[in-house]
Structure 1
Amino acid sequence: MKPIAELAYCTNVHPGDTLARTKAMLDQHAVRVRSLACPNGTLGLGLWLSAQSATELLHETDGLARFRGWLEERHLAVRTINGFPFGNFHDSVVKTRVYKPNWADPARSLYTLDLAKILAALVEAGTPTASISTLPLGWRSDFSNEGCGASAGLAASQLEWIAMKLAELEDASGVRITVDLEPEPGCVLDRAEHVVALFDQCFNSDETRTHLGVCHDVCHSAVMFEEQDETLALYAQNAIRVGKIQVSSALSCHGAPREIAELAQFAEGRYLHQTCVLEGNGQTRFFEDLDPALEAMLDGFWRTHFHVPVHLETIGHLGTTSREIAFACTAASHIDPPCFEIETYAWTVLPPHLRESDLAAGIAKEIAWTRAALVAAGYEVDG
């Protein structure tokens, strides 16, 4: 029997700092994506709600029931929630602000609990479990073991608290919501071994691990030069559940002058584009953003955190890590099937000549490509 893959596209590609704007963007874009990608079916969403939008939804009279009905009328179904960006993810400058508040701040756990209540109410009837992806504690330089900055211990305590609240929510709703930490370059947890160490040190009980897991972002893992199969196997060997795989792709090149000239077009002011360069001696150099990497001009194999359309294997003279997605899909077929969420939030900051004039059409191409990749990996696709 083939494993079933739930497929969704993440709506953090659309602005949505308020609930009204979120609904307007879904009406404008998601409805058209559905008409192109699955005109006779239901489109799976990886819903993003800012903290303000989540608060508005929970405080509306019958807000959850009415929003669920609103989605059903449009043949849209929430499969998962992206709980990483707290504030306005489409502000003119986001950069490291996306990691605030971090998990040492109670505001992060309260926001996440709001999202859990929303997700439990929005998933389709009979859904046994659903995932909320979240930041991997926070940006590394904001944390310290010397008492300055945020405390990893406090962050772990907040996560234990949320796990307890999720157990209570499961008892009340019948839906198991998991909060899944998403390793990202430059964060406290940016490699699989960091996640394993945190779980070994802080989350040893079965009760906690029932509601805490990992979200594996293919782009992030590729930027860190991890092997997809080894990474997912490491989680399985250490009894860490993968609740979600984010289908995403990074830029890559070999550092030739014409490649670097093209790569420089992707340096932009809104998002952070962490870059790793694998040098000839086997050492990896990490840069917090693309600009300092371009200034250093190191020889080696470059990978840059810029979520490019997943179906593109090349962009001009640049490569992408699109092929890593197939490796991740195949490796994931050997574990409990996670949700697969296409997360190309950077469509609107691509160099102008690469932007789709019809965003919905571009997203629909990604969905079709990802469906084919999942089928090739042996899945039956739902969504």
Structure 2
Amino acid sequence: MRFLHADGTTVHLGYCSNVHQAEDLKGVVSQLASHAEPVRERLGVDRLGIGLWLARPVVTELAADTGSLKRLKAELRARGLETVTLNAFPYAGFHREVVKKDVYLPDWADEARLEYTLDCARVLAALLPDDAERGSVSTLPLAWRTPWPDWRAETARRALHRLTTGLAALEAWTGRRIRVGFEPEPGCVVETTAQAVRELGGLDPDRLGICLDACHLAVQFERPATALRRLADAGLPVVKLQASCAVEAHDPADPAARAALRRLAEPRFLHQTRTAIVGTVHGVDDLSDALDGGLPQTTGPWRVHFHAPLHTEPEPPLRTTADQLGRVLAGLLGGPSADCDHIEVETYTWSVLPEPPADLAGGIAAELAWARDRLTGLGLKEDHP
């Protein structure tokens, strides 16, 4: 879906396909028919954005075969879908039985991460709608925090300069601008906006910026207005917003809350958990660690890196950080200028919910409708084709 901001900016809203299990081109094309097109039909719109996750083998095939690229673009167009952003955070294997910290591999000290990201940019340049101003690719925030010795940090810094050069060359060759957004995440080298400024400040803002995940921001107890101002002051553009909600237990000592949290402590994905004690954030790497005594229960709420559906609440007495997501949207788009033009709903956890939905397309459509209502509530106008 597209929206028009009062300043004339076209704002794109879509959902991320990493919720679907597909790691070959046939599977990607199949999910457009079995999931994405039904979501569009449920919303009753003629055009729906989809942020594609393309695993390394798919990107390799598309980058090497222009015929495959043209067929994928034709499939998107035939089903009323468009792509202006790719999620290049997971490299492969995102739906294995256990993913956990493997999602951060390869990291930015590994040549494979640079090559994959540039290939994603090349593929996206070919998939972009003709009238799209630019594309975006989101990626991990350098690496998991350990091990990260100085030599690996310096290797990653050199890779980012090569990334900038590669993106500039791609624009010169194709006429399409692709920006890469680094996504701060709890537990990583860059987990907060302050760390983003320290580690990523001074890079080319025309090519590189931040993918701001609202769930991650909430888990780290960052105030949206402060975080957005910090990024703007540092010249780090928000090239993409991942519209997502964390899970919060207001009273983690409550037996009902702990029972509900136990049902979210599943084996596939990492669910970093944080609490704030006298203004200082403390955390553990997984929800199970918190429940087993890794976090105090009586000092304040826990927030969990578990991407909860935007439009509904989890099992009581748990709740989501949807209000915080609303403040992020208002901070980016509620003023006289649009400070972000790509929004991706990224609830990849549907399959690991205690009660996975029988109607996934309906759930995704409801999330997008929630986001659409928040955007129009900020004064944006739906832009129909």
Return the TM-score normalized by structure 2.
0.93
Residue 6 of structure 1, CA deviation:
0.9
Shift of 1:217: 0.2
Bigger Cα displacement from structure 2, 358-367 vs 291-300: 291-300
Cα distance in 2 for residues equivalent to 1:163 and 1:381: 33
Query: Which residue is equivalent to 2:63?
Result: 58
- 1:189-228 aligned at under 5 Å gives the runs 189-200=190-201, 203-204=202-203, 208-228=204-224
SS in 2 for 1:246: strand
Q: Does 1:283 align with 2:280?
A: yes
Which SS does the other structure have where 1:266 is aligned?
Answer: coil
How far 1:175 sits from its partner (Å)? 1.2
Given that 2:260 and 2:315 are in contact with CA atoms closer than 8 Å, whether structure 1 keeps it comes out as no
Residue aligning to 1:251: 247
Q: Give matches, 1:77-156, under 5 Å.
A: 77-145=82-150, 151-156=152-157
Task: Find the aligned partners of 2:106 and 2:382 in 1 and give their Cα distance.
Answer: 35
Deviates more, 1:263-272 or 1:296-305: 296-305
Q: Give 3-state SS (helix, strand or coil) of 1:284's partner.
A: strand
Counterparts of 1:345 and 1:305, CA distance in 2: 12
1:5, 1:340 within 8 Å by CA — same for their partners in 2?
yes
2: CA distance, partners of 1:257 / 1:378? 42
CA deviations on 1:204-259 (whole Å, 9 max, x unpaired) are 5xxx2210100000000000000112111111111111100000001001212211
User: Is residue 2:326 matched to residue 1:326?
Assistant: yes
Structure 2: runs of 5+ lacking an equivalent: 1-5
1:20 partnered with 2:26: yes
Aligned Cα root-mean-square deviation (Å) = 1.5
The CA distance in 2 between the partners of 1:209 and 1:324, in whole Å, is 26
Residue by residue over 1:283-321, the C-alpha shift from the partner in whole angstroms, topping out at 9 and shown as x without a partner, is 322110001100115222100000010112453210110
2:245–2:308 Cα contact (<8 Å) kept:
yes
Contact 2:10-2:341 within 8 A present in 1 as well: no
Q: For 1:44, what is the secondary structure of its paired residue? A: strand
Distance 2:241 2:142 in 1: 18
Q: Separation in 2 of the partners of 1:246 and 1:226?
A: 15
Contact 1:15-1:88 within 8 A present in 2 as well: no
TM-score normalised according to structure 1 size: 0.93
Count of equivalent residues: 370
**In structure 1, C-alpha distance between the alignment counterparts of 2:282 and 2:257, rounded to whole Å:** 18
Q: In the alignment, which residue of structure 2 is the partner of 1:184?
A: 185
User: 1:6, 1:381 within 8 Å by CA — same for their partners in 2?
Assistant: no
Deviations 1:180-210 (A, max 9, x none): 100000000000011111233xx35xxx221
- Residue 183 of structure 1 contacts residue 189 of structure 1 at CA under 8 Å; is this kept in 2? yes
Matches within 5 A, 1:307-326: 307-326=307-326
After the TM superposition, which parts of structure 1 deviate over 6 Å for at least 4 consecutive aligned residues? Answer: none
Post-superposition Cα deviations, 1:32-75, rounded to whole Å, max 9, x if no partner, equal 11111134x11101111001111122233522112111111111
Encode CA deviations 1:136-184: one digit per residue, 9 max, x unaligned.
Answer: 0010013123x5xxx1111111111011010011111111100110000
Which residue, out of 354, 364, 378, partners 1:351? 354
Q: Tell whether the 8 Å contact from 1:244 to 1:338 is kept in structure 2 after alignment.
A: yes
Return the alpha-carbon distance in structure 2 between the equivalents of residues 171 and 282 of structure 1. 47
Q: Conserved in 2, the CA contact under 8 Å of 1:312 and 1:322?
A: no
Structure 1 alignment gaps of length 5 or more:
none
Q: CA deviation at 1:278?
A: 2.0
1:11 aligns with 2:9: no
8 Å contact from structure 2 (residues 13, 344) kept in 1: yes
SS of equivalent residue, structure 1 residue 210: coil
2:84–2:132 Cα contact (<8 Å) kept: no
